[in-house]
Amino acid sequence: MTDATQIPGYTTGTWDIDAVHSEVEFTLRHMGVGRSRGRFDKFEGQIVTAENPLDSSVSATIDAASINTGSADRDAHVRAEDFLDTDNYPTAEFRSTGIRQNGDDWIIDGDFTLHGVTVPVSLEAELGGFTDTSDGGKLLGLSANTTLNRTDFKVGPNGGAMLGEKVKINLEIEATLRG
């Protein structure tokens, strides 16, 4: 399905991620038995859809200090030097390096930089589609997820039962066409 004509409503252009209608969420194990959840409240990014969908690209920046776990004390601890160290590393960034098809879905390969460390990651993405908005604009929707190892980024303590090393990232993205 790499032919854009096979994707209903496919529109080329540059799309700005709408942070009001999008979510950047994560989960990780806590004490080996439960899950801690959180999100980042401030982020921005662009999606460029090319004539050939495989030539498209994605870039995004997350304000690391906007972490929100539902606990102000925990958020302050995670912003501190022994975790995200947001004073020295205020943002996390994703830059795609390629897009490939996976059945009806897509894999977005890229480099993710967090805590000053860059690691290649692959996002499993499902295209929600393209639609016209009531004000004459255009909207793109997609869902994506991946699993990171927080110790690859030197975030938090290595080992131990308090926090799991695997962090599941879930993205729900809506973006509006520029112009």
Residue 110: is its pLDDT beyond 90?
yes
pLDDT value for 115: 92
For 90-100, write each residue's pLDDT tens digit. Answer: 999 999 999 99
Judged by DSSP in three states, 57 sits in strand
pLDDT band at 82 (very low <50, low <70, confident <90, very high): confident
Q: In terms of Cα–Cα distance, which of 146, 108, 106, 112 is closest to 128?
A: 106
Contacts of 169 (CB under 8 A, 6+ apart): 24, 25, 26, 145, 146, 147, 148
Residue 75: is its pLDDT beyond 70?
yes
104-142 CB burial, b ≥16 within 10 A, e <16: eebebebebbbbeeeeebbbebebeebeeeeeeebbbbb
Strand (E) or helix (H) holding 77: helix 72-79
Judged by DSSP in three states, 28 sits in strand
Q: In terms of Cα–Cα distance, which of 112, 71, 65 is closest to 85?
A: 65
Give the residue-averaged pLDDT of 48-67.
97
pLDDT value for 63: 98
Per the prediction, the chain carries an average pLDDT of 91
pLDDT value for 150: 85
Residue 1: is its pLDDT beyond 60?
no
Whether the CB-CB separation of 61 and 93 falls below 8 Å is answered with: yes
- Half-sphere exposure in the Cβ direction for 165 (13 Å, CA): 9
Task: For each of the domains in the chain, give its residue range(s) and CATH number, in order of start.
Answer: 4-177 (2.40.128.110)
pTM of the model: 0.92
Give the residue-averaged pLDDT of 39-68.
97
